[in-house]
Amino acid sequence: MLSNVKFSGPELAGLIVAVSFAAGLNVYATVATLGLLAHTGMLDLPSGLHLLASWWVIGASAGLFAVEFFADKIPAFDLVWNALHTFVRVPVAALLAYGATSHLSPEKQLLATLAGAAIAFAAHGGKTAARAAVTPSPEPVSNIALSAGEDTLAIFLTWFASVHPMIAASVVGVFLIAVILVTRSVVRALKKLFRGAEAELASANDRRTKDRHLNAA
């Protein structure tokens, strides 16, 4: 069944917001989902994104998604993986926004591209912050569950944006607020941890200094 959503104006903006956020969570799942929806006729992509319907793009994205599915669920390694993907998720989200607005004026296209990159960066940053908080846990279940939830959310948001772009954008707005709050909490916790470690190190250095002075006396 063809999508009856015409992606122009607010609907196009809603699609860009939702897809950019999904790309920040899992860019390969997002691109593969968009491609499959377009290839099967369930989604009428903007002309600048028609390339995504190619089986080459779908296959490559699905293959990379399979790799990330496992790599992203290994505690500690997932932090390295996510750090490296800062240079993948954000640029690809920007390119998706750029392609989706190819029919608009250069000023609007640039604005959409920057917005797509910023939203993807926020989603990616929130994901990384959540991983930093969960990874120290000795059990792997929470890490795996969090990663699986992110994968599912990326796919769901991409599909949902194809039928209800404005509602999907509103959902993303709620997620962005949550990301800001979670990121601030994690940053504060890390600062507190580092301050505690620095205080402990300073205390240990003072004790060693006093011991040396006592031994010298």
Residue 48 lies in a domain: yes
Residue 32 lies in a domain: yes
pLDDT greater than 50 at residue 2: no
Residue 107 lies in a domain: yes
Per-residue confidence (pLDDT) for residue 131, from 0 to 100: 81
Q: Structurally, how many domains does the chain consist of?
A: 1
Residue 189 lies in a domain: no
pLDDT greater than 60 at residue 3: no
Residue 210 lies in a domain: no
Per-residue confidence (pLDDT) for residue 211, from 0 to 100: 65
DSSP H stretches of helix in 72-164: 77-84, 86-100, 106-134, 141-163
pLDDT greater than 90 at residue 75: no
CB 65 within 8 Å of CB 32: yes
pLDDT in tens, 26-38: 999 999 999 999 9
Mean pLDDT score of the chain, rounded to an integer?
87
CB 111 within 8 Å of CB 17: no
Predicted confidence band of residue 1 (pLDDT cuts 50, 70, 90): very low
Note down the domain range covering 22.
10-183
Per-residue confidence (pLDDT) for residue 114, from 0 to 100: 97
Per-residue confidence (pLDDT) for residue 139, from 0 to 100: 67
Predicted confidence band of residue 111 (pLDDT cuts 50, 70, 90): very high
Cα-based distances in Å from 127 to 75, 151, 153, 163 = 14, 11, 12, 25
Per-residue confidence (pLDDT) for residue 184, from 0 to 100: 76
pLDDT in tens, 130-171: 887 777 776 678 888 889 999 999 999 999 999 999 999 999
pLDDT greater than 70 at residue 77: yes
pLDDT in tens, 166-216: 999 999 999 999 888 877 776 776 677 677 666 667 666 667 776 676 666
Q: Is 9 left (phi over 0), alpha (psi -120 to 50) or beta?
A: left
Q: Rounded CA gap, 41 and 199, in Å?
A: 61
Residue 190 lies in a domain: no
Residue 192 lies in a domain: no
Comparison of pLDDT for 136 and 94, the residue scoring more: 94
Helix (H) or strand (E) holding 165: helix 165-216
Predicted confidence band of residue 13 (pLDDT cuts 50, 70, 90): very high
Q: Could you give phi then psi for residue 198, rounded to 5 degrees?
A: -65, -40
Per-residue confidence (pLDDT) for residue 120, from 0 to 100: 96
Residue 194 lies in a domain: no
